[in-house]
């Protein structure tokens, strides 16, 4: 079987192609034709999906993107709305607002919902991009700037801080692929330690499709995965793809689908999915077979049904086509071949779920709620809140070589991201009413992660960021890190930390020795002690909350310090109390 693919000469010609990619370009050149400014080549699917070497993936990305329908273009808005448009994202969002306004629904006038001030923007974007609050110097420099496009410039500046950017992303992906510093946990092999590799990938801004393909296809430096002895005495590999048993193979397939395609199919592992007709058991088993060296048997509720399901990639375009065009039909009979193929299929631009899933995760990370919810349960019977925007962002990501920083910059420089938090306007997702609309007139309140809290306290106290002291480096679980939501171990994958609150968290924040140790020392305390009573409040509030104090807050700080007296140790103890009060406050613990 052959498929005709077309590509523009731009990025292919510009590739710094390795020797391993030369034969791929040879296919193209051998079948090239000219006459319309483009080249066409007839390439067999087997050849096109034969490798996940990065340069070859770039060629495949270019070719396969031609199979993807052009996304809807950003809507043209009436002139009165144009002043509220910062970029294309706002056109999609405000178009929905305009529909509501035209229908007579009150509260959808763009001018009635203000954007945040510079102090709030700085705190929000620092925490979102590099995971910590700004120092006082960084905050004051940004706020005092008169540059007309200073917010976009700050976003670009923070994204360019590649080490800090990577440090902030590392714990998310450690959770998402169950990366563990220990090869064995309780005698059971883990999925491996990917911390350094994840960090390196985000430092170099590796294309997202390459990043994912390498996780699945053993492309991670280190080559052969180590083999460990389980508690039962049997050998097992420490690697992301665990397939020593039927059950582990099913779990690996379900994890890959959930994390990389936002699709929940685990319930179809032993019977047809009860809540989603899209996933009969046989469809899931066909997908799971691609993670093994053999087709999988149908075992229904622990009973072997005496037949197997042929391995196949099950994701179909939503236009009703029987299969994604141009995928290989010959499935390898060896494990390495199947993993190479399934990783290429998952990351294929023509796979309708891959790019959509990651842009939805980015949207949820920065806005609080995804364009489809739950973010791990993309399904055809629940339409995204803004399907045109989701398609547009996904296509834009693919057309720009899966550059996550580009999509992040688009979101953070949109006016939609910069809207003021308003609890009355913030969207909610109700699992009992999945079809309820979302308008994004306000971001959703987001609880800071354990890493953001602890690392931000260190920045506030020291007015500097020591990358070596970032919390994600700490392997030991502590009472404080657990109370703030950091998992004690990573036996299971997770793409979102729990955001529920309980008494134990309050007790740890109010009485825990770990937090006291964090705020009990640091240059900030000396700065507060040296300041006059009326200056001290400004120092503390800008350090922790990235804003000046209100008149009442300034008065309270002045009174508290005055009551402590002039003796240095008493004043120092009062300063610690004030810092503690701000750290445990909801304003510090949440991002809005």
Please give the pLDDT value at position 381.
Answer: 86
Q: Which helix (H) or strand (E) is 3 found in, with range?
A: strand 3-7
Please give the pLDDT value at position 318.
Answer: 54
Please give the pLDDT value at position 221.
Answer: 56
Q: Is the pLDDT of residue 118 over 80?
A: yes
Please, what's the largest Cα pairwise distance for the chain?
86
Show Cβ contacts of residue 517 under 8 Å, excluding neighbours closer than 6 positions: none
> 525-582: per-residue pLDDT in tens?
999 999 998 899 999 999 999 999 999 999 999 999 999 998 999 999 999 999 999 9
**Can you tell me the distance from the alpha carbon of 118 to that of 388, in angstroms, rounded to the nearest whole number?**
31
Write down the mean pLDDT value for the chain. 88
Choose the most confident range, by mean pLDDT, from 12-26, 53-67, 444-458.
Answer: 444-458
Please give the pLDDT value at position 533.
Answer: 86
Show Cβ contacts of residue 175 under 8 Å, excluding neighbours closer than 6 positions: 487, 490, 493, 494, 495, 497
What's the pLDDT band for 222 if we cut at 50, 70, 90? low
Write down the pTM of the prediction: 0.92
Angstrom CA distances, 355 to 161, 386, 393, 396, 510, stand at 25, 15, 8, 9, 43
571 alpha carbon, distance to own chain's centre? 43
Instruction: Report the candidate in 1, 23, 21 with the shortest Cα–Cα distance to residue 11.
Output: 21
> 293-333: per-residue pLDDT in tens?
999 999 887 778 878 999 999 876 654 444 688 888 889 99
Please give the pLDDT value at position 33.
Answer: 30
Q: Is the pLDDT of residue 64 over 70?
A: yes
Please give the pLDDT value at position 572.
Answer: 95
Rounded to 5°, angle at Cα 427 from 422 and 433: 150
> 418-461: per-residue pLDDT in tens?
999 999 999 999 988 999 999 999 999 999 999 999 999 999 99
**Can you tell me the distance from the alpha carbon of 495 to that of 59, in angstroms, rounded to the nearest whole number?**
30
DSSP, collapsed to helix, strand or coil, labels residue 299 as: strand
Show Cβ contacts of residue 495 under 8 Å, excluding neighbours closer than 6 positions: 172, 175, 176, 258, 259, 361, 375, 376
């Amino acid at each position: 079987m052959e498929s005709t693919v077309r590509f523009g000469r731009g990025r292919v010609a510009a590739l710094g192609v390795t020797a391993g990619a030369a034969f791929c370009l040879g296919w193209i050149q051998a079948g090239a034709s000219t006459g319309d400014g483009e080249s066409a080549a007839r390439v067999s699917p087997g050849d096109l999906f034969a490798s996940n070497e990065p340069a070859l993936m770039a060629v495949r990305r270019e070719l396969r993107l031609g199979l993807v329908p052009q996304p809807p273009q950003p809507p043209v808005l009436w002139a009165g709305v144009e002043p509220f448009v910062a970029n294309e994202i706002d056109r999609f969002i405000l178009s929905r607002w305009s529909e509501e306004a035209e229908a007579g629904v009150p509260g959808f006038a763009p001018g009635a919902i203000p954007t945040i001030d510079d102090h709030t923007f700085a705190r929000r974007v620092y925490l979102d991009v590099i995971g910590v609050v700004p120092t006082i110097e960084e905050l004051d420099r940004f706020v005092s700037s008169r540059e007309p496009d200073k917010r976009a410039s700050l976003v670009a500046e923070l994204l360019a801080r590649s080490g800090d950017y990577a440090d902030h992303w590392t714990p998310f992906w450690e959770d998402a692929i169950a990366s563990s510093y220990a090869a064995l946990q309780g005698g059971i092999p883990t999925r491996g330690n990917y911390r350094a590799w994840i960090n390196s990938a985000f430092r170099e801004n590796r294309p997202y499709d390459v990043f994912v393909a390498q996780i699945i296809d053993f492309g991670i430096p280190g080559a052969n995965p180590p083999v460990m002895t389980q508690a039962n005495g049997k050998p097992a590999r420490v690697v992301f793809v665990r397939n020593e048993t039927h059950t582990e193979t099913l779990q690996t397939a379900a994890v890959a689908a959930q994390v990389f395609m936002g699709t929940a199919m685990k319930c179809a592992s032993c019977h047809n999915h009860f809540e989603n007709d899209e996933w009969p058991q046989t469809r899931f088993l066909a997908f799971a077979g691609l993670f093994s060296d053999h087709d999988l048997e149908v075992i229904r509720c622990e009973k072997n049904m005496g037949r197997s399901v042929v391995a196949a990639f099950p994701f179909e375009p939503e236009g009703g086509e029987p299969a994604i065009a141009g995928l290989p039909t010959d499935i390898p009979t060896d494990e390495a071949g199947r993993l190479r193929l399934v990783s290429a299929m998952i990351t294929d631009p023509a796979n309708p779920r891959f790019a959509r899933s990651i842009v939805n995760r980015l949207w949820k990370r920065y806005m609080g709620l995804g364009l489809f919810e739950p973010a791990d349960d993309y399904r055809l019977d629940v339409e995204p809140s803004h399907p045109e925007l989701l398609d547009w962002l996904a296509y834009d990501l693919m057309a720009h070589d899966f550059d996550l920083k580009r999509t992040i910059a688009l979101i953070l420089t949109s006016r939609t991201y910069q809207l003021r938090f308003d609890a009355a306007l913030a969207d909610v997702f109700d699992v009992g009413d999945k079809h309820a609309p979302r308008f994004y007139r306000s971001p959703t309140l987001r609880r800071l992660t354990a890493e953001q809290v602890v690392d931000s306290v260190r920045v506030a106290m020291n007015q500097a960021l020591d990358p070596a002291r970032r919390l994600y480096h700490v392997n030991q679980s502590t009472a404080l890190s657990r109370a703030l939501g950091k998992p004690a171990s990573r036996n299971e994958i997770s793409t979102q930390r729990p955001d529920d609150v309980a008494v134990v968290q309050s007790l740890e924040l109010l009485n825990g020795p770990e937090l006291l140790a964090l705020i009990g020392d640091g240059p900030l305390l000396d700065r507060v002690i040296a300041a006059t009573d009326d200056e001290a409040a400004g120092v503390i509030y800008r350090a922790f909350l990235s804003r000046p104090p209100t008149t009442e807050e300034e008065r309270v700080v002045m009174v508290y310090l005055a009551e402590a007296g002039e003796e240095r140790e008493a004043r120092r103890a009062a300063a610690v109390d004030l810092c503690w009060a701000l750290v445990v406050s909801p304003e510090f613990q949440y991002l809005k």
